Amino acid sequence: MSTSFAGAYRQLADAQKGHARGAPAYSVYVNRRIGRTLAAWAYRAGLTPNQVTAISAVNTFAALALLMLLPAHGWTGVLVAVLLTLGYAWDSADGQLARLRGAGSLAGEWLDHFVDAVKIASLHLAVLVALQLHTPLAGTPWLLVPLGFSVVAVVTFFGMLLNDLLKSKKGVSSTHARGGGTLLRSAVLLPTDFGMVCLVFVLWGWTAGFLVAYTALAIAGAAFLALAAVRWFHEIAALDREEA
């Protein structure tokens, strides 16, 4: 690669678009910037966007495996949090690398979303298994929290993808349209950020503290989904009225 790391980083910084209207703060101001650094490194290393997606998957699923296999100690939580955070950052890096290389493809986008779907469907179920195996919460109603969180996360992801699909059929900008986000909105949405789910595992060795923080994130996610679902339905219904 003829472009230096610094040059690639500058190109990525200059090519950044406004963040999506629904993008929370960690994703915009932390994860994207870490991802930019990783994308510049990957560009210099000659990696492809699909290889970067694979690195993201390895980090994420290694974290989930360790969560279920290792005892609930503080160091376990830190290790899981680091791996999940890296997986999330690499997930941001693959799209940025594709833009830098001018090599975006439908197959690459499919792979990225497919890995995201597996991650979202698996993460909270892994928490459920780990709570059952490694904490005093085994067999208690608290195990319903990760089960409910899993439903919320999967339905939210599906709803966003479905919105984008239906809107694209009408030539309307997607749910993640760029340029409409604000700092205040991003801050308000912080509890719904996947990055916060990654970081909450630093509390894993303190079961009570982890459960309180994790449950708060689950409630925030459920509230967001309830409000978003109403808005999404009205947006799609408006497209029907325009067509009629």
**Among 47, 26, 9, 15, residue whose Cα is nearest residue 189:** 26
CB within 8 A of 2, min separation 6: which ones?
none
From residue 92, give the alpha-carbon distance in Å to each of 36, 52, 85, 108, 212. Answer: 8, 9, 11, 13, 28
Domains and their CATH numbers in the chain: 5-243 (1.20.120.1760)
153 close to 124: Cβ distance less than 8 angstroms: yes
State how far the Cα of 109 lies from the Cα of 164, in Å rounded to an integer.
13
169 and 1 in contact (C-beta within 8 Å)? no
The pair of three-digit structure tokens given for residue 56, joined into one six-digit string? 């993201």
The residues that bridge with 20 in the sheet, in sequence order, are 178
Q: What are phi and psi of 175, to 5 degrees?
A: -55, -30
CA distance 73 to 202: 10
The reported pLDDT for the residue numbered 182 is 65
Q: Which residues contact 128 (CB under 8 A, 6 or more apart)?
A: 143, 146, 147, 150
Contacts of 137 (CB under 8 A, 6+ apart): 131, 143, 207, 211
User: Closest Cα to residue 201, out of 211, 193, 191?
Assistant: 211
pLDDT at 104: 72
pLDDT along the chain (244 residues), means of 10: 68 63 81 92 90 97 98 96 97 88 82 95 97 95 97 96 88 59 72 92 96 96 95 91 75
Specify the pLDDT at position 191: 82
pLDDT recorded at residue 129: 98
